[in-house]
Each structure stands twice: as C-alpha cells, then as structure tokens.
Amino acid sequence: MAAPTFVIAGGGKSASFASSHTISVNVGTGDDRTVIVEASTYGGASGSIINSITVGGVALTLSGDESLATELGFAGRFRGGALYGATLPTGTQNIVVTASDGNSRISLAVWVASGTTAVSAATKRAGTSTYTPSVTATATSDQSLVFMGVTSAVVGTHTIAATSPGTLRRDEDGWTRLFAIDNVGVGGSTSSGVTISGGATPVTTGHYWVVSGTTPTAELTGTVTLDDITASGSMASAGASTLSGEFVFDSITVSGAMGSNPVTWTVPALTNWNNGLQASVTVPVVSFLRLSDGVQALVLTNQTTNSLGTLTGTTPMLVAGVDYMAVGWNADGSARFARKVTPT
C-alpha cells in the first residue's frame, strides 16, 4: 500500500455576515481523490448552524454540528465534511458552505489528496487550552491522519506550526482561525496536531479523519511454472471481466510447444531428377505454407526420409484437415521439392 499524496489546500472567509460563502479550489482529477473541508461560523447569539458543504454541487458527508461556545467560549458553530471517490467533480470547482441564516461570518479550510481509497467518519476533538492541541489515532503506513481544526489564536499574536511529524497544510485567517494538518505514513498510534505559541493560551478544537492510501501495482518475482494445463468446455462471461493496474512480464522463457493436440504430417515419396527414390536422405529445410493464403505455419530443419523416401513426423503447430504446401531444398538449392500435405 502507498500513503495518500497531498494535492492542494485552500480556504477563505466571508467579508461580512452571510448565509453562504463560496471559494474556488482546484480539486484535481481521478477517482482516487479525497476532499475534506472544515467550516465555522462566528457571531450572532450562538452562531449559525452549517447546513451543507458542497464541492461542485456534490454534497460532502458531514460531521455533527458543534458549538464553539462550548469548545472555545464564544458564539459560533463548526462542522466538517469529507468525500472520497468518483462522485467528486474534477478540476477547479466551487466549494460552498451554506448556513442556517445570515447572522454569522463563515470561514473554511480545505484539504485535497490523491492516491486514496477510503476516508473514515469524522471524530471530534474536544476543546483544549494547551499549547500543543493534537489528536491521536491508530493509522498504518499507508494512511494519512488529517486534523482540521479551529482555534481562538489571534493572527499577529499567535503562531501556528504543525506538531512533528505532521505538515501544516493551511493556516487560514478567518473569523475563527482554521488550520489543516496532514500526518502521512507514520503508522501505529499516530499523533497529528498544532503547536501554537505567543500571547495568551488559545483554545483549540476540530475534527480528524483517517484517509487510506492506494494499492500499488502487484509484482510477481521468481519462477512460475505452468505444466500440463487442460481446459475443456467453453469459456464465457455474462459481463466483461475487469483487470485494473499494470501487468509487467519480464524475462519469460517458454519451452515446448503451445497449441492444439499433435497431428501427423507426411510428405509423399521424394525422387531425384531421374525418378530415383530418395531414401535415408536428410533435407536441411522443410517449410509448411498454408495453402489457402500462403502463410508460413512451420519450419523444420534436418528432416530425414525413411526407407520409402517419405518424410513424416508429428507436431502441434499444424492443424488436422488443413491443407499445406510442404517445400524443401538442399544446402545450395540445386535439389528441391513442393508437395501438398494434409495433416491427420
């Protein structure tokens, strides 16, 4: 498995009280993308509830609606949304956050990655007033732990940095300050968070998601032996079989013959120019050409006639009942023949 690959992050805020806010973000291409958005509202008696988050008109799966009054101590709400897969639109798209009314200011931060196969449900991180708020989850080396949060940290007074080994993907100056942390491919009990320094200790909260990475191209190494395989009956399917990924075949050696059951071929008795029987004579080259279209089906070397002057043998490379022209010659071409052959 391979960890997700970060693509782009965005963010923004409304200029004033609004019932919705829209930003434009390039969300990439491919069916293996995941988009995660964290949004917050600020103002009013308790803050407007976030009703929906869409990407190009496609709704994200939302977390629960949470109160900033409970978590951070001031009026507002926050909510996260995520979506993975082919239903995501491609390229530059509008990301729209819609609130329950127009009595709050809206902020949002966006995380986008490719090379993903799944995204977990959101888990809320309880508000904390420590300098290093973080989340801890069990993640494997092919997963990314994404922590999207909001904080009461003041721009110009506080500084936000990712807690090692995470990466700060977004630090958005909103009505509540939003951030996006990406902690890729660490494995085990993984922590992802921020370190906030300067000024009074801020309060921080948010959501986290575990995003799974893709399966790379399968590899086969060593020796594979296929021997005595027999197939009978018919092979059919109600629908087309699908193979995804890449198949690489390198240094393959095939010995023996691949084809139908062996057939017997016989070239009639050979004679010289004086009509003398050519018994026990070795013919350097014998070529079999399909009579219907002249395609060369088989070439044999050093074939020896029997006591009756005929050439005969077995091979799986010719087809019983099909007419061929057998053509042979000696080393300098001074002696040659052409005979019709129909294997049995």
145, exposed or middle or buried, with CB in 10 Å at 0-12, 13-18, 19+?
A: buried
- Average pLDDT of the residues of the chain: 83
Average pLDDT of span 42-70: 90
pLDDT band at 232 (very low <50, low <70, confident <90, very high): low
Q: Per-residue pLDDT tens for 263-307?
A: 999 999 988 888 888 899 999 999 999 999 999 999 999 999 999
Closest CA to 41 of 57, 25, 52: 52
Average pLDDT of span 176-183: 85
Total count of residues recorded for the chain: 344
Beta bridge pairs of residue 106 = 41
CA dihedral 172, 20, 62, 137 (to 10 degrees): 10
**More confident of the two residues 338 and 137:** 338
Per-residue pLDDT at 242 exceeds 70:
no
What is the separation, in whole angstroms, between the first and last Cα of the chain?
54
Token digits of residue 139: 């993640």
pLDDT band at 14 (very low <50, low <70, confident <90, very high): very high
Q: What is the pTM of this model?
A: 0.61
- pLDDT score for 290: 94
CA angle 150, 154, 156 (to 5 degrees): 130
Tokens 């050439």 correspond to: 311
CB 159 within 8 A of CB 196: yes
Lowest mean pLDDT among 61-65, 194-198, 283-287: 194-198
**More confident of the two residues 21 and 172:** 21
Q: Are strands 92-99 and 76-84 parallel, antiparallel or unpaired?
A: unpaired
**More confident of the two residues 323 and 275:** 323
Lowest mean pLDDT among 48-52, 255-259, 318-322: 255-259
**More confident of the two residues 217 and 334:** 334
At 281, which amino acid appears?
V
pLDDT band at 130 (very low <50, low <70, confident <90, very high): low
Q: Per-residue pLDDT tens for 208-222?
A: 899 998 755 444 455
pLDDT band at 140 (very low <50, low <70, confident <90, very high): confident
- pLDDT score for 295: 92
- pLDDT score for 117: 92
Average pLDDT of span 91-117: 94
38 vs 245: CA distance, rounded Å: 33
Average pLDDT of span 41-63: 91
- Helix and strand totals (H; E) in the chain: 1, 25
- pLDDT score for 215: 57
